Structure 1
Amino acid sequence: MAYLAKEERRKAIILATLEVAKEKGFAGITTRAVAKQLDAATGIIHHHFKSLSELKCEALRYLSQKNGANCITISNDLPPTQALLRLLSFNVTPEERSETSVWVSAADEANRDPEFARVYGEETNKSHEWLCSNLKEGARTGEYTLTLPVEFAAWKLMSLAFNLYDVSNLPDTALTPDMAVQILKDELKSTLGLESKDLASQLLSSH
């Protein structure tokens, strides 16, 4: 591996870790697998991260920061409803699909590793904070008519959308993306008062 400054090397290790996670999930991350992805010796990883758990935690933080920056960009470019639908869209890019699979495996890892669970909870809270901001702005502009307190509505939408996405993408599930979108569309109408005829098409539209 070519010479890199300390922070650049740490970032390179984290990116290699996420590539392994995309293929094997967080459960499949080992120092050997990361070193192979990085084309480096395992000793380099041990030098920069005191444990495999720390490496996994830092990889999750990096992914969360990337997603958070994406949310901010979308919020700055689009009105609340369009920004929300863009983030909840079921027809994601291949990169977003692989990242979603990483988040699914992260939830499983959180059940195995207490430290990772703490970080997973912290980063999930950040997603909730963004959604709360979106809901507050949508209510302020009159785009949303909330039927629940903002914090509750945000958790409800997050939980429903992410679980529908996960299940509808399983290989043998009876839940199709069209069915999942219809369920989410009904919830957006119930919780936010959104009644646009284009909701379903926007949730399935390409980016």
Structure 2
Amino acid sequence: MGYLKADVRAELLLNAAIKVMKSEGYAAVTARKVAQESGAAVGHINRHFASLSQLKCQAFLAIVHEKSTEHKAASEASSGIDAVLALLGACNKKTRDIELWREVSVLAHQDRALHEIFVYALNRWHSMLSSVIENNHLRCHDTASATAWRLIALVSGTGFTGHAQRH
């Protein structure tokens, strides 16, 4: 690969990590796979990112933002229960997204940086879902917030039923 500016090469590496993560999962993102996918040398990862872990965290965060945008747009195009279902991922038939979410929920306990991103993503998802429940005046036995947490736990399969906190 020829000369590329630092920011262009960093973006190339990040996009390669995102591609591998989406298709194979978080743990499958290795320096060798990112280098192969991007066409860059393995050494470029440490030149542009503090570590492979940082690159993986940034890739997951980029996926979170992408999926949030997709689900929010689908939710805004719907109303009532359909809007809630859109935020829960019903608009996306691929199971790979929920598999990645579950994988990261487990790995987040081992990596503090990933844990922070996971908590951020969880709270973002909860906030959007709570708003949709409340704005659509959906009847629930509890608060919109509590209902949102239960729905997230149900969909993600994590058994998580309370608000996300940093440890």
- Normalising by structure 2, we get a TM-score of 0.82
Task: Kindly state the Cα deviation for residue 35 of structure 1 after the two structures are TM-superposed.
Answer: 0.6
| 1:22-73 Cα distance to aligned partner (Å, 9 max, x none) | 4442222221121112121012211111111211110111011101111221
Cα distance change of structure 1 residues 70 and 92 upon mapping to structure 2, 3 Å threshold: closer
Which residue in 1 is equivalent to 2:146? 152
Which residue in 2 is equivalent to 1:115? 113
| 1:62-100 Cα distance to aligned partner (Å, 9 max, x none) | 01110111122123311132122234366843xx33232
Indicate yes or no: 2:128 matched with 1:130: yes
Q: Is the 8 A contact 1:16 1:34 kept in 2?
A: yes
Q: Within 2, Cα distance between the matches of 1:40 and 1:34? A: 8
Q: Within 1, Cα distance between the matches of 2:106 and 2:2? A: 34
* Amino acid in structure 2 at the alignment position of 1:9: R
SS of the residue 1:161 aligns to: helix
Q: Is the 8 A contact 2:26 2:56 kept in 1?
A: yes
Which residue in 1 is equivalent to 2:54? 54
Larger radius of gyration: 1
Q: Within 2, Cα distance between the matches of 1:81 and 1:35? A: 43
Structure 2 portions without partners, runs of 5+: 159-167
Which residue in 2 is equivalent to 1:188? none
Note the aligned Cα RMSD (angstroms): 2.2
Which residue in 1 is equivalent to 2:165? none
Which residue in 1 is equivalent to 2:83? 83
Q: Is the 8 A contact 2:75 2:87 kept in 1?
A: no
- Normalising by structure 1, we get a TM-score of 0.67
Name the structure where helix makes up a greater proportion of residues. 1
Q: Which has the higher contact order (CA 8 A, sep 6+)?
A: 1
Which residue in 2 is equivalent to 1:19? 19
* Structure 1 range deviating more: 151-160 or 78-87: 78-87
Indicate yes or no: 2:99 matched with 1:105: no
Task: Kindly state the Cα deviation for residue 5 of structure 1 after the two structures are TM-superposed.
Answer: 4.7
* Amino acid in structure 1 at the alignment position of 2:157: N
Q: Within 2, Cα distance between the matches of 1:3 and 1:124? A: 39
SS of the residue 1:111 aligns to: coil
SS of the residue 1:27 aligns to: coil
* Amino acid in structure 2 at the alignment position of 1:72: K
Q: Within 1, Cα distance between the matches of 2:19 and 2:58? A: 14
Structure 1 portions without partners, runs of 5+: 165-207
The count of corresponding residues between Structure 1 and Structure 2 is 158
